[in-house]
A and B are shown apart, each in its own frame.
Chain A
Amino acid sequence: KQEVTQIPAALSVPEGENLVLNCSFTDSAIYNLQWFRQDPGKGLTSLLLIQSSQREQTSGRLNASLDKSSGRSTLYIAASQPGDSATYLCAVYQTGANNLFFGTGTRLTVIP
């Protein structure tokens, strides 16, 4: 069964730093990978969706990369801001499973 891991579980950085969040998955037969943001007590906000045929996607200060063969994705956040503080979740769509498999998230705190 697909397993998705996000390390570290928590991360604190000073404002203005560039940072990388990691996501790894055990089965490379994925259709796509999606990054979400979740604020405390709230739902998930979709940030970026990368198809399996793509290497990266960019939206503003966010850049997500995908290396399907090694089972890894990274989310790069440039010039972090206190408003970026949230939990970031990655999820993979498993080909044939009709399910999104989620990691447990990285809780990011950006210190002013």
Chain B
Amino acid sequence: DGGITQSPKYLFRKEGQNVTLSCEQNLNHDAMYWYRQDPGQGLRLIYYSQIVNDFQKGDIAEGYSVSREKKESFPLTVTSAQKNPTAFYLCASSIEGLNTEAFFGQGTRLTVV
């Protein structure tokens, strides 16, 4: 089964904690992305990576960090510096950049408790 797997589906974070969201793909795509979705707003780009060991900030990178040590994996850490982390997080991949068709995972809903 080819696709993008995000885990966990639901995640709860206490104030001041860092949490890491997992994203794995077996599509052999070079590019991977993290988006944040809030009610009533369009998806916003957090970080993207076009090749292993390289990544770039998107529109709302503050309070987030990523790594890209393997082609298949692009984990996102939500740090305590992110003041409003409650949101739905979506991981995506594409063969090259976003000029090629983007495929999305099923999302992780993060809630601060």
Contacts and interface: CB of A to CB of B under 8 A. Distances in A.
A43 B90 CA distance: 7
Contacts of B58: 99
Interface in B85-105: 90, 92, 97-99, 101-105
Contacts of A42: 106-107
Contacts of B98: 93, 98-100
B112 interface: no
A34 B101 contact: yes
Interface residues of A, number: 23
Interface residues of B, number: 24
Contact of A104 (B41, B101, B103, B109): B41
Interface of A: 4, 31-32, 34, 36, 41-46, 49, 89, 91, 93, 98-105
9 contacts: A34-B101, A41-B107, A43-B6, A46-B101, A46-B102, A100-B43, A102-B43, A104-B41, A105-B42
